[in-house]
């Protein structure tokens, strides 16, 4: 069971690293082209979400691994569930239904 939890935590962390980096480092034009942003929208919420996703990648693994404040790992998991639920809502409002199965799978992990 412990091995399954570690594998799941690592997979979730890997799932969030690339989008987090993309949201944090991508230009406003790239986010507009990808459909994440409208031309008159502020990019700051996207950047903040990228920071939270990257912090979550650390928070899902490091506290439990080091034994320092291990309660942060399940708290981070709950925060990831909130991010995934919000993502499902955003993608369904934008009629991007092909993303929903993947988001549901990650949510259930």
pTM: 0.79
The per-residue pLDDT for 46 is 86
Domain map (residue ranges) of the chain: 2-108
What per-residue confidence (pLDDT) applies to 51? 92
pLDDT in tens, 66-96: 989 989 988 988 988 888 888 888 888 878 7
Residue at token pair 């912090």: 55
> Does the pLDDT at position 17 exceed 90?
yes
Residues in the chain: 109
């Amino acid at each position: 069971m412990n091995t399954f939890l570690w594998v799941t935590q690592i997979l979730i962390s890997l799932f969030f690293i690339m989008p987090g980096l993309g949201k944090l480092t991508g230009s406003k034009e790239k986010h507009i082209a990808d459909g994440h942003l409208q031309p008159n929208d502020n990019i700051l919420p996207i950047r903040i979400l990228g920071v939270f996703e990257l912090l979550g990648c650390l928070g899902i693994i490091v506290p439990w691994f080091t034994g320092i404040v291990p309660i942060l790992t399940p708290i981070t998991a709950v925060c990831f569930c909130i991010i995934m639920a919000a993502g499902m809502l955003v993608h369904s409002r934008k009629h991007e239904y092909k993303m929903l199965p993947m988001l549901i799978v990650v949510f259930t992990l």
